[in-house]
Structure 1
Amino acid sequence: MGIETITIETDARLTTVDVTDQIASVVPDDLESGTVTAFVAHTTAGLLVQENEPRLREDIEDFLRDLVPDEGHAHDRLDGNADSHLRAAMIGPDVTIPVENGDLVLGTWQSILFVECDGPRTRSLTVALTPHAK
Protein backbone atom coordinates (compact mmCIF):
# COMPACT_ATOMS: atom_id res chain seq x y z
CA MET A 1 0.00 0.00 0.00
CA GLY A 2 1.13 3.47 -0.61
CA ILE A 3 0.78 6.16 -3.21
CA GLU A 4 -0.28 5.77 -6.83
CA THR A 5 -0.54 8.36 -9.59
CA ILE A 6 -3.35 8.48 -12.13
CA THR A 7 -3.12 10.56 -15.31
CA ILE A 8 -6.23 12.37 -16.52
CA GLU A 9 -6.62 13.93 -19.96
CA THR A 10 -9.23 16.66 -20.34
CA ASP A 11 -10.56 18.13 -23.55
CA ALA A 12 -12.31 21.34 -22.46
CA ARG A 13 -11.60 24.40 -20.34
CA LEU A 14 -14.28 23.50 -17.78
CA THR A 15 -15.36 19.88 -17.62
CA THR A 16 -16.01 16.99 -15.25
CA VAL A 17 -14.53 13.50 -15.56
CA ASP A 18 -15.68 10.45 -13.60
CA VAL A 19 -12.53 8.99 -12.01
CA THR A 20 -14.24 6.50 -9.68
CA ASP A 21 -13.11 3.38 -11.55
CA GLN A 22 -9.53 4.64 -11.89
CA ILE A 23 -9.32 5.30 -8.16
CA ALA A 24 -11.00 1.98 -7.31
CA SER A 25 -8.50 0.15 -9.50
CA VAL A 26 -5.61 1.03 -7.17
CA VAL A 27 -7.38 -0.41 -4.10
CA PRO A 28 -6.19 -3.98 -3.44
CA ASP A 29 -8.93 -6.59 -3.20
CA ASP A 30 -7.50 -7.78 0.13
CA LEU A 31 -7.74 -4.38 1.87
CA GLU A 32 -10.30 -5.23 4.54
CA SER A 33 -10.64 -1.76 6.02
CA GLY A 34 -9.06 1.58 5.27
CA THR A 35 -9.36 4.85 3.45
CA VAL A 36 -8.32 6.13 0.09
CA THR A 37 -7.51 9.80 -0.36
CA ALA A 38 -7.33 11.28 -3.84
CA PHE A 39 -5.53 14.61 -4.22
CA VAL A 40 -5.10 16.93 -7.18
CA ALA A 41 -1.77 18.78 -7.01
CA HIS A 42 -3.02 21.57 -9.25
CA THR A 43 -4.53 24.93 -8.31
CA THR A 44 -7.00 24.99 -11.20
CA ALA A 45 -8.65 21.58 -10.76
CA GLY A 46 -10.52 19.82 -7.99
CA LEU A 47 -12.36 16.71 -6.85
CA LEU A 48 -15.87 16.17 -5.57
CA VAL A 49 -18.26 13.36 -4.76
CA GLN A 50 -21.46 13.66 -6.71
CA GLU A 51 -23.78 11.74 -9.02
CA ASN A 52 -22.26 10.87 -12.40
CA GLU A 53 -25.26 11.80 -14.51
CA PRO A 54 -24.53 13.75 -17.72
CA ARG A 55 -27.15 16.46 -17.17
CA LEU A 56 -26.07 16.96 -13.56
CA ARG A 57 -22.43 17.19 -14.65
CA GLU A 58 -23.51 19.85 -17.16
CA ASP A 59 -25.40 21.62 -14.36
CA ILE A 60 -22.26 21.57 -12.18
CA GLU A 61 -20.22 23.13 -14.98
CA ASP A 62 -22.92 25.77 -15.63
CA PHE A 63 -23.17 26.47 -11.88
CA LEU A 64 -19.42 27.13 -11.68
CA ARG A 65 -19.57 29.41 -14.75
CA ASP A 66 -22.49 31.33 -13.21
CA LEU A 67 -20.74 31.74 -9.85
CA VAL A 68 -17.41 32.90 -11.26
CA PRO A 69 -17.30 35.13 -14.34
CA ASP A 70 -14.68 34.22 -16.95
CA GLU A 71 -13.04 37.65 -16.88
CA GLY A 72 -12.50 40.71 -14.74
CA HIS A 73 -10.22 39.38 -12.00
CA ALA A 74 -6.89 40.86 -10.83
CA HIS A 75 -4.98 37.61 -11.48
CA ASP A 76 -6.04 37.76 -15.14
CA ARG A 77 -3.40 40.43 -15.69
CA LEU A 78 -0.80 37.75 -14.96
CA ASP A 79 -2.03 34.76 -16.96
CA GLY A 80 -5.75 35.03 -17.71
CA ASN A 81 -7.01 32.12 -15.61
CA ALA A 82 -8.24 33.62 -12.36
CA ASP A 83 -11.67 32.11 -12.99
CA SER A 84 -10.09 28.65 -12.99
CA HIS A 85 -8.34 29.24 -9.66
CA LEU A 86 -11.50 30.61 -8.05
CA ARG A 87 -13.66 27.72 -9.29
CA ALA A 88 -11.14 25.14 -8.08
CA ALA A 89 -10.90 26.90 -4.70
CA MET A 90 -14.64 26.36 -4.20
CA ILE A 91 -14.39 22.65 -5.03
CA GLY A 92 -11.25 21.70 -3.13
CA PRO A 93 -8.30 19.50 -4.08
CA ASP A 94 -9.17 16.19 -2.39
CA VAL A 95 -11.66 13.56 -1.33
CA THR A 96 -11.32 10.77 1.22
CA ILE A 97 -13.41 7.64 0.81
CA PRO A 98 -13.71 4.65 3.19
CA VAL A 99 -12.66 1.23 1.89
CA GLU A 100 -14.18 -2.04 3.03
CA ASN A 101 -13.29 -5.48 1.67
CA GLY A 102 -11.40 -3.96 -1.26
CA ASP A 103 -14.28 -1.71 -2.35
CA LEU A 104 -14.85 2.03 -2.13
CA VAL A 105 -17.72 2.71 0.27
CA LEU A 106 -19.79 5.12 -1.81
CA GLY A 107 -23.53 5.70 -1.77
CA THR A 108 -25.72 4.28 -4.53
CA TRP A 109 -25.48 7.39 -6.71
CA GLN A 110 -22.08 8.67 -5.59
CA SER A 111 -19.10 8.90 -7.91
CA ILE A 112 -15.79 10.71 -7.69
CA LEU A 113 -15.63 13.52 -10.21
CA PHE A 114 -12.48 15.31 -11.33
CA VAL A 115 -13.32 18.91 -12.17
CA GLU A 116 -11.08 20.56 -14.74
CA CYS A 117 -11.24 24.35 -14.58
CA ASP A 118 -8.34 25.33 -16.88
CA GLY A 119 -8.15 22.76 -19.64
CA PRO A 120 -7.63 21.09 -21.84
CA ARG A 121 -4.71 19.57 -19.95
CA THR A 122 -2.98 16.44 -18.80
CA ARG A 123 -3.33 16.21 -15.02
CA SER A 124 -1.96 14.04 -12.24
CA LEU A 125 -4.15 12.66 -9.51
CA THR A 126 -2.37 11.24 -6.46
CA VAL A 127 -4.10 8.40 -4.65
CA ALA A 128 -2.97 7.39 -1.16
CA LEU A 129 -4.15 4.21 0.56
CA THR A 130 -4.27 3.96 4.33
CA PRO A 131 -5.09 0.57 5.85
CA HIS A 132 -6.88 0.53 9.20
CA ALA A 133 -5.70 -1.74 11.98
CA LYS A 134 -7.86 -4.77 12.70
Structure 2
Amino acid sequence: MSVFTGDFTLGTSGNTDVTDITSQVCGLVSLSGITNGIVLVYVPGSTAAITTMEYEPGLVRDLKAALERFAPEDITYFHNERWHDGNGHSHIRASFIGQSESFPLINRELLLGTWQQIILVDLDNRPRTRKVFVQIYGQ
Protein backbone atom coordinates (compact mmCIF):
# COMPACT_ATOMS: atom_id res chain seq x y z
CA MET A 1 0.00 0.00 0.00
CA SER A 2 1.06 3.58 -0.69
CA VAL A 3 0.11 6.93 0.75
CA PHE A 4 0.19 10.14 -1.27
CA THR A 5 -0.44 13.58 0.24
CA GLY A 6 -0.96 16.71 -1.82
CA ASP A 7 -2.52 20.09 -1.27
CA PHE A 8 -3.67 23.24 -3.00
CA THR A 9 -4.52 26.74 -1.85
CA LEU A 10 -7.38 28.98 -2.88
CA GLY A 11 -8.73 32.36 -1.93
CA THR A 12 -12.34 32.69 -0.87
CA SER A 13 -14.65 35.61 -0.23
CA GLY A 14 -16.14 34.14 2.96
CA ASN A 15 -19.83 34.50 3.81
CA THR A 16 -20.77 31.00 2.61
CA ASP A 17 -18.58 31.15 -0.49
CA VAL A 18 -19.04 27.84 -2.34
CA THR A 19 -16.18 26.66 -4.59
CA ASP A 20 -16.08 23.59 -6.82
CA ILE A 21 -12.74 21.89 -6.09
CA THR A 22 -13.33 18.69 -8.05
CA SER A 23 -10.76 19.44 -10.74
CA GLN A 24 -8.02 20.22 -8.22
CA VAL A 25 -8.74 16.99 -6.34
CA CYS A 26 -8.76 14.96 -9.57
CA GLY A 27 -5.45 16.57 -10.57
CA LEU A 28 -3.84 15.36 -7.36
CA VAL A 29 -5.36 11.90 -7.85
CA SER A 30 -3.65 11.76 -11.25
CA LEU A 31 -0.32 12.86 -9.76
CA SER A 32 -0.50 10.23 -7.04
CA GLY A 33 0.00 7.25 -9.32
CA ILE A 34 -2.37 5.26 -7.11
CA THR A 35 -4.90 3.13 -9.00
CA ASN A 36 -7.30 1.89 -6.32
CA GLY A 37 -7.88 3.18 -2.82
CA ILE A 38 -9.49 5.89 -0.73
CA VAL A 39 -9.23 9.64 -1.32
CA LEU A 40 -9.59 11.90 1.71
CA VAL A 41 -10.28 15.60 1.09
CA TYR A 42 -9.76 17.78 4.17
CA VAL A 43 -9.75 21.50 4.99
CA PRO A 44 -8.22 22.58 8.31
CA GLY A 45 -10.09 25.17 10.31
CA SER A 46 -13.33 25.54 12.18
CA THR A 47 -15.14 27.86 9.75
CA ALA A 48 -14.76 25.93 6.47
CA ALA A 49 -16.25 22.67 5.26
CA ILE A 50 -15.97 20.02 2.57
CA THR A 51 -19.05 18.33 1.10
CA THR A 52 -20.58 17.35 -2.23
CA MET A 53 -23.44 18.68 -4.29
CA GLU A 54 -24.52 19.31 -7.83
CA TYR A 55 -22.60 22.53 -8.35
CA GLU A 56 -25.06 24.72 -10.24
CA PRO A 57 -26.12 28.30 -9.45
CA GLY A 58 -29.63 27.49 -8.23
CA LEU A 59 -28.49 24.82 -5.81
CA VAL A 60 -25.61 26.99 -4.57
CA ARG A 61 -28.19 29.68 -3.71
CA ASP A 62 -30.42 27.04 -2.08
CA LEU A 63 -27.52 25.81 0.07
CA LYS A 64 -26.73 29.35 1.23
CA ALA A 65 -30.39 29.99 2.06
CA ALA A 66 -30.71 26.69 3.93
CA LEU A 67 -27.62 27.42 6.02
CA GLU A 68 -29.00 30.87 6.88
CA ARG A 69 -32.25 29.26 8.06
CA PHE A 70 -30.32 26.60 10.00
CA ALA A 71 -27.86 28.91 11.80
CA PRO A 72 -28.87 32.53 11.16
CA GLU A 73 -26.12 35.13 11.22
CA ASP A 74 -28.18 37.70 13.12
CA ILE A 75 -28.98 35.85 16.35
CA THR A 76 -27.04 35.80 19.62
CA TYR A 77 -24.07 33.41 19.78
CA PHE A 78 -22.07 33.04 23.00
CA HIS A 79 -18.94 32.74 20.84
CA ASN A 80 -19.52 36.28 19.55
CA GLU A 81 -20.06 37.60 23.05
CA ARG A 82 -16.71 36.19 24.12
CA TRP A 83 -14.57 36.92 21.04
CA HIS A 84 -16.53 39.76 19.35
CA ASP A 85 -15.64 38.44 15.88
CA GLY A 86 -19.20 37.93 14.63
CA ASN A 87 -18.63 34.44 13.24
CA GLY A 88 -20.44 32.21 15.73
CA HIS A 89 -22.83 31.15 12.96
CA SER A 90 -19.81 30.17 10.83
CA HIS A 91 -18.53 27.74 13.45
CA ILE A 92 -21.95 26.15 13.94
CA ARG A 93 -22.49 25.67 10.20
CA ALA A 94 -19.02 24.17 9.70
CA SER A 95 -19.51 21.80 12.64
CA PHE A 96 -22.59 20.32 11.04
CA ILE A 97 -21.19 20.01 7.50
CA GLY A 98 -17.72 18.77 8.54
CA GLN A 99 -14.18 19.39 7.38
CA SER A 100 -13.63 16.26 5.27
CA GLU A 101 -15.10 13.73 2.86
CA SER A 102 -13.74 10.41 1.61
CA PHE A 103 -14.22 8.91 -1.84
CA PRO A 104 -13.41 5.56 -3.44
CA LEU A 105 -10.71 5.52 -6.10
CA ILE A 106 -11.29 2.78 -8.68
CA ASN A 107 -9.06 2.26 -11.72
CA ARG A 108 -7.52 5.76 -11.31
CA GLU A 109 -10.97 7.40 -11.29
CA LEU A 110 -12.58 9.17 -8.38
CA LEU A 111 -16.00 7.59 -7.85
CA LEU A 112 -18.50 10.46 -8.01
CA GLY A 113 -22.10 10.52 -9.19
CA THR A 114 -22.97 11.97 -12.57
CA TRP A 115 -23.92 15.38 -11.15
CA GLN A 116 -21.78 15.25 -7.99
CA GLN A 117 -18.94 17.69 -7.41
CA ILE A 118 -16.67 18.16 -4.41
CA ILE A 119 -17.07 21.59 -2.87
CA LEU A 120 -15.37 23.74 -0.29
CA VAL A 121 -17.71 26.01 1.65
CA ASP A 122 -16.03 28.95 3.35
CA LEU A 123 -18.41 29.90 6.12
CA ASP A 124 -16.33 32.59 7.82
CA ASN A 125 -17.51 36.20 7.74
CA ARG A 126 -14.46 37.50 5.87
CA PRO A 127 -12.25 36.52 2.91
CA ARG A 128 -9.75 33.78 3.66
CA THR A 129 -6.97 31.80 2.07
CA ARG A 130 -7.76 28.11 2.48
CA LYS A 131 -5.39 25.18 2.10
CA VAL A 132 -7.05 21.90 1.13
CA PHE A 133 -5.26 18.59 1.72
CA VAL A 134 -5.85 15.48 -0.35
CA GLN A 135 -4.52 12.21 1.02
CA ILE A 136 -4.78 9.02 -1.00
CA TYR A 137 -4.24 5.57 0.46
CA GLY A 138 -4.13 2.60 -1.86
CA GLN A 139 -2.18 0.69 -4.45
> What is the SS of the residue equivalent to 1:75?
helix
Q: Is 1:59 aligned to 2:65, yes or no? A: no
The question of 1:2 aligning with 2:9 is answered no
Q: Which one of 81, 87, 97 corresponds to residue 81 of structure 1?
A: 87
More displaced stretch, 32-41 vs 3-12 = 3-12
Once the two structures are superposed, what CA deviation does each residue of 1:14-68 show, in whole Å capped at 9, x if it has no partner? 1110000000100137432111101111100001111111110111011101111
**1:57, 1:7 → 2: CA distance?**
21
Kindly indicate whether the alpha-carbon contact (under 8 Å) linking 1:31 and 1:100 is maintained by their aligned counterparts in 2.
Answer: no
Distance in structure 1 (CA, Å) of the matches to 2:52 and 2:13: 21
CA contact 1:50–1:111 (8 Å) conserved in 2: yes
TM-score w.r.t. the length of structure 2 is 0.89
Alignment partner for residue 13 of structure 2, among 5, 11, 18?
11
Which residue of the partner structure matches residue 25 of structure 2? 23
Structure 2 unaligned segments of length 5 or more: list them: none
SS of 2:61's partner is: helix
Secondary structure of the residue aligned to 1:16 is: strand
SS at structure 1 position matched to 2:63: helix
How many residues in Structure 1 have an aligned counterpart in Structure 2? 132
Counterpart pick for 2:131 among 120, 124, 127: 124
| Alpha-carbon RMSD | 1.4
Q: Determine the C-alpha separation between the residues in 1 that align with 2:62 and 2:21.
A: 18
| In 1, Cα distance between equivalents of 2:113 and 2:16 | 26
SS in 2 for 1:114: strand
Once residues 38 and 27 of structure 2 are traced to their aligned partners in structure 1, the CA distance between those partners, rounded to angstroms, is 14
- Counterparts of 1:82 and 1:51, CA distance in 2: 27
Structure 1: 5+ residue runs without aligned partners? none
Paired residue for 2:121?
Answer: 115
> Percent sequence identity over matched residues?
33
Q: Write the distance in 2 (CA, Å) between the matches of 1:24 and 1:86.
A: 29
